[in-house]
Each structure stands twice: as structure tokens, then as C-alpha cells.
């Protein structure tokens, strides 16, 4: 099992860089925004709601629903208009499970109701569209840039929250496939995918006490945030799928990992 050990000083190369973050108002996204601002990066956060806490530094919030192409375009265009460039993108917006594939609920005509696609629309399609627009902007500058995608450890294993697991498997495939596509097109854009295990966020707020009671480690969002920022900062990191874990979670997930 490979490990990448890094220190805070490894993140400071992002000072002055412009980073677009989706889903940056809570959980992993918020922790990442706060860390980026602490190292004096400029952050444009696209989310459906603004953070509850006040942000300080070079920060801008743009109300953005990642399921709507026009709103994603507006997010990136505003970032470019404000800062003149975009250096990196963190495609992070996501929600918890929504669909019930065993439902027997019928509509007014007595037919089985279609299951919700909300999770897939946000967690998978939202990531794909965010990354597509990111490539469009990053390819316009000679130095390119990077994209970090928030996947999940559920993308590496079976998980009975089927829509959530399906979306994260899809995110893993998209992130991995995008790397050789960009290489073939000779575009200097790095893509890395995070695959964190249980993390304290709005995705699983009601499960935290249960998971702790059965000795399943729930890591703070700041752990994953540091991994996201490291993958953004380190120009040698490309094509990595990285379960971001604290030491207590390492034995629960197979694969490469970042120890922070």
C-alpha cells in the first residue's frame, strides 16, 4: 500500500493561485476553501447556499447548482472575469443517497414511480460537467492547471446505497479515463481523484454517532481537505486515485492512500 506523506509547507505553492471549488459551503468543500484561503490562494466557491460562517481573504461565492449547465458556465466565467485566469478546479459538490430501488410507491395511474436520479445528477453528471468546463478554461493557458475530483471509497467496493455507490464508481471511471484523454490531446492538465472513507460532512450527518458506536472511524473534513490541496499543489501528481484516510481507517480500504 503506497503512502504519500506531506507537510503544510508542501501546500504553500498555491499562494496567489485561483481555484474554483464546487460544493465549498460545507463539509469537505468548506474545509478545503478555508485551507486554501489560509495559504493566501484566491477561491471562487460555487454552491447552492453560502457558507454559514463568514470567509476572509480573496473569496467569492457564486450561487451555483451543478446540475444546471448554465450556472456552471456562469461560475467559471465569473471567476475568469474577476481574476483573469483559473489555475485549478476542485469538483467536489455532492449529496448522500436519494434513490430507493426497492420502492413499491405508485403514481396516480397505479404505475411504479421512477426512482430519484438526484444523486447521480449531482455526484456524477455534476462532476463531469464541472470538469468539462474546467478543461475548456485551463487549456487556454500555456501552463494548463489541475482538476481534483471528489470520489469516495465506495467507488472501490460494494455499498448498498446503490445510487451513491453507482455515482462514485462513475466518478472513478471518469477521472481515470480523463487522464489519458488529456495526454493524447497534449493538454497540460493534471487530474486526480480523491476516494475518502467516512468523513464528517452533510452527506452522513445522522450516521456519525452510529458509525462511532461500531468503531468505524469518521475522519474530520480537514483531513480530506489537506489531501485535496496537496494533490492540487504537487505538480508531479497526475492520474492518482487516492483514498484519503486517517490511520484508523487505513485497514478499512484497499489501495493507495495519503497519510496526513
- In angstroms, rounded to a whole number, what is the distance separating the alpha carbons of residues 112 and 92? 33
Q: Which residue, chain included where needed, has cell 484561503?
A: 37
Q: How many CA atoms lie within 13 A of 92 on its CB side?
A: 35
For the question of residue 168 being annotated catalytic, the response is: yes
- In angstroms, rounded to a whole number, what is the distance separating the alpha carbons of residues 222 and 56? 18
Q: Quick one: residue 255, left, alpha or beta (phi over 0 = left, psi -120 to 50 = alpha)?
A: left
Q: Please, is 108 exposed, middle or buried when counting C-beta atoms within 10 Å of its C-beta (0-12, 13-18, 19+)?
A: exposed
What is the torsional sign of CA 227, 43, 186, 128? positive
For the question of residue 15 being annotated catalytic, the response is: no
| Catalytic site residue from 80, 101, 125, 164 | 164
| Catalytic site residue from 59, 80, 101, 168 | 168
Q: Which three cell numbers stand for residue 126?
A: 455534476
Catalytic residue positions, numbered:
164, 168
Amino acid at each position: 500500500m503506497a503512502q504519500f506523506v506531506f507537510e503544510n509547507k508542501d501546500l504553500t505553492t498555491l499562494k496567489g493561485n485561483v481555484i474554483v471549488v464546487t460544493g465549498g459551503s460545507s463539509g469537505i468543500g468548506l474545509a478545503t476553501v478555508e485551507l486554501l484561503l489560509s495559504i493566501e490562494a484566491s477561491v471562487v466557491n460555487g454552491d447552492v447556499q453560502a457558507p454559514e460562517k463568514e470567509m476572509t481573504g480573496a473569496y467569492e461565492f457564486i450561487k451555483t447548482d451543478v446540475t444546471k449547465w448554465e450556472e456552471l458556465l456562469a461560475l467559471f466565467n465569473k471567476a475568469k472575469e474577476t481574476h483573469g485566469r483559473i489555475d485549478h478546479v476542485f469538483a467536489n459538490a455532492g449529496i448522500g443517497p436519494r434513490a430507493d430501488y426497492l420502492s413499491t410507491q405508485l403514481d396516480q395511474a397505479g404505475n411504479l414511480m421512477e426512482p430519484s436520479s438526484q444523486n447521480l445528477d449531482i455526484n456524477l453528471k455534476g462532476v463531469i460537467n464541472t470538469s468539462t468546463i474546467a478543461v475548456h478554461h485551463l487549456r487556454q493557458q500555456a501552463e494548463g492547471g489541475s482538476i481534483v475530483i471528489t470520489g469516495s471509497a465506495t467507488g472501490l467496493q460494494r455499498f448498498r446505497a446503490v445510487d451513491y455507490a453507482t455515482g462514485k464508481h462513475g466518478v472513478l471511471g471518469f477521472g481515470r479515463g480523463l487522464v489519458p484523454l488529456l495526454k493524447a490531446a497534449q493538454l497540460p492538465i493534471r487530474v486526480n481523484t480523491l476516494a475518502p472513507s467516512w468523513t464528517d460532512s452533510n452527506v452522513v450527518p445522522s450516521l456519525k454517532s452510529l458509525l462511532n458506536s461500531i468503531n468505524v472511524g469518521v475522519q474530520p473534513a480537514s483531513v480530506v481537505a489537506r489531501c485535496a490541496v496537496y494533490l492540487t499543489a504537487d505538480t508531479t501528481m497526475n492520474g492518482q486515485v487516492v483514498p484519503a484516510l486517517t490511520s484508523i481507517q487505513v485497514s478499512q480500504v484497499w489501495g493507495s492512500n495519503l497519510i496526513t
